[in-house]
Structure 1
């Protein structure tokens, strides 16, 4: 039995350069632009070096996703401590580059089974983290989670913000400014001021 081929170290500068290159290409041109030779050329290294760190293109995609997902979890964990949680969630989910990259990961998952499960698992992990934070946030303000569902709020914020960014990339911005103003107005009050919204 042959020994498995040695891979580059996790903290190698070259490895991070390759992952940075993949992220940039995905944001600028979409996941279809990513290939071993293209990544090597953009990073200024030989294709063999890319394959030294990543056996296959799927391995390269998976490593890029895992790094990005861990960064996102860490950023969210810190952000979810904010006392203006709703505004923080909206701002985080509305970050253009992050949202575009996540949309590319979703598109990639539709075509590559090896990454599909990881994308879904990460999304569920992140949604659970956000939902638990929203639940604590509402409880601290005396808002009944039966009246205002933490999970529904979490899904609403993430899906609307992503949809706006997706439309924006298509050049469709009609109504965006109005919706943004409406959302910003409601994110300022009443929840982030500690008030309970009136029913009816």
Structure 2
């Protein structure tokens, strides 16, 4: 007989594997490739088992979204604890995998209102965590925003980096080198607190 602890571990592992498969399908083939039967087939389980963990396809999508958001917030907290939090914020936004999954969820949200509402809630949570991290860095003296709105800095930094990554994925790179150099100039000013820019 299986002990309750072992069963719970197996259940958590199965759930994690189903989420991994759904996320991989979204990244490799797009959100439309994710289906209960497809995830079950790739996991080597039956569709009813997938439905045991996620009673609808939307619940599966939401679980992938929430898990990714939790991972991003943990990654962000570690990165923004660095001596140069603005540079860390810029680098966080320049990750192609993160941009691609965001793009897939945005496309999915056009067809599913519950997904759209959750994306907005998670994005706000993420943005608030970024703001809290910058406020902490300012309090600790690791950054001086020089009178700039911390929220505007967060939005501008994350949105610009994300758009550049998405454009690059499409093959559009016109203006990217010049924009990257401008961002580098700005980041160097924030990296050097003695600079009065």
Say if 2:187 is the partner of 1:161. Answer: no
Which residue in 2 is equivalent to 1:133? 133
Residues 132, 150 of structure 1: 8 Å contact kept: no
Deviation at 1:68, TM superposition (A): 0.9
Runs of 4+ in 1 over 6 A off after TM superposition: none
Closer/same/farther in 2, CA of residues 80 and 149 from structure 1, 3 Å limit: same
Deviation at 1:196, TM superposition (A): 4.7
Deviations 1:109-146 (A, max 9, x none): 2211112221111111111121232234345268466x
Q: What's the TM-score, normalizing by structure 1?
A: 0.85
Which residue in 1 is equivalent to 2:149? 149
Work out the CA distance in 2 between the residues paired with 1:181 and 1:190. 13
- Aligned to 2:110, the other structure's residue is in SS state helix
Which residue in 1 is equivalent to 2:193? 194
Which residue in 1 is equivalent to 2:116? 116
RMSD: 2.2
Deviation at 1:9, TM superposition (A): 5.7
Closer/same/farther in 2, CA of residues 142 and 130 from structure 1, 3 Å limit: closer
Deviates more, 1:178-187 or 1:58-67: 178-187
Higher helix share: 2
> Which consecutive unaligned segments of at least 5 residues does structure 2 have?
1-6
Work out the CA distance in 2 between the residues paired with 1:144 and 1:89. 14
Deviation at 1:179, TM superposition (A): 1.9
Which residue in 2 is equivalent to 1:32? 32
Deviates more, 1:37-46 or 1:135-144: 135-144
Work out the CA distance in 2 between the residues paired with 1:184 and 1:133. 21
Closer/same/farther in 2, CA of residues 105 and 197 from structure 1, 3 Å limit: farther
Deviations 1:51-88 (A, max 9, x none): 12111101111111111111111111222211111111
Which residue in 1 is equivalent to 2:4? none
> Which consecutive unaligned segments of at least 5 residues does structure 1 have?
1-7
